[in-house]
Amino acid sequence: MTPAPSTQRSKRSKTQAATFLEIVRLSEELQRGFAELFKAHDMSPALYNVLRVLRGAGEAGLTCGDVGGRLVQHDPDVTRLLDRLEKRGLIERRRSTEDRRVVRTRITEAGLALLAELDGPVDDLHERQLGHVPEPRLKELLSIVEEARAKPA
């Protein structure tokens, strides 16, 4: 007869599980604030994320695949997001003259204006959500999160 598996978890396992749960709870809370902020602008965090990525890409723009690769949160249907933004005049898509298979997406002046309008409220939301944490502790937290994301190969 084999012995029953141990139901005891190590102290490290318990700490890892507790840390995971707190990160998930914090993520949900932070994301809820963004969803509420963007709702007033008929935006979603995913649409905002695409605009932010395209602003960073500059005049050269990006292909659909490149946009998807740079999103903070994975979205399996980047094309749908781009369609919605294009319909609102916030982005434009153009075929490459060198390679007609390539379509580059760029943010429009209207998209840049919307992001500029949101920059202040986004900064204010960050302050409301994280302003109580002293700067040195925020930097430490950032370092820890980056370390956790950089899993060994």
Angle at which helix 109-130 crosses helix 45-57, to 10 degrees, equals 120
Q: What is the mean pLDDT of the chain?
A: 91
Q: 67-93, pLDDT tens digit by residue?
A: 998 998 887 889 999 999 999 999 999
Q: What value does the mean pLDDT take over residues 15-30? A: 94
Question: Residues of 28-48 as b/e, b for ≥16 C-beta within 10 angstroms?
Answer: eeeeeebeebbeeeebbbbbb
Alpha carbon distance 129, 26 (integer Å): 10
Give the residue extent of every domain in the chain: 27-148
Q: What value does the mean pLDDT take over residues 53-64? A: 92
Alpha carbon distance 67, 54 (integer Å): 7
Please indicate whether residue 97 or residue 2 has the higher confidence score (pLDDT).
Answer: 97
Could you please state the CATH topology (level 3) that the domain comprising 27-148 is classified under.
Answer: Arc Repressor Mutant, subunit A (1.10.10)
Q: Please tell me whether residue 20 adopts helix, strand or coil conformation.
A: helix
User: Are 3 and 14 in contact, with CB atoms under 8 Å apart?
Assistant: no
Binned at pLDDT 50, 70 and 90, residue 5 comes out as low
Phi, psi of 95 (to 5 degrees): -75, 140
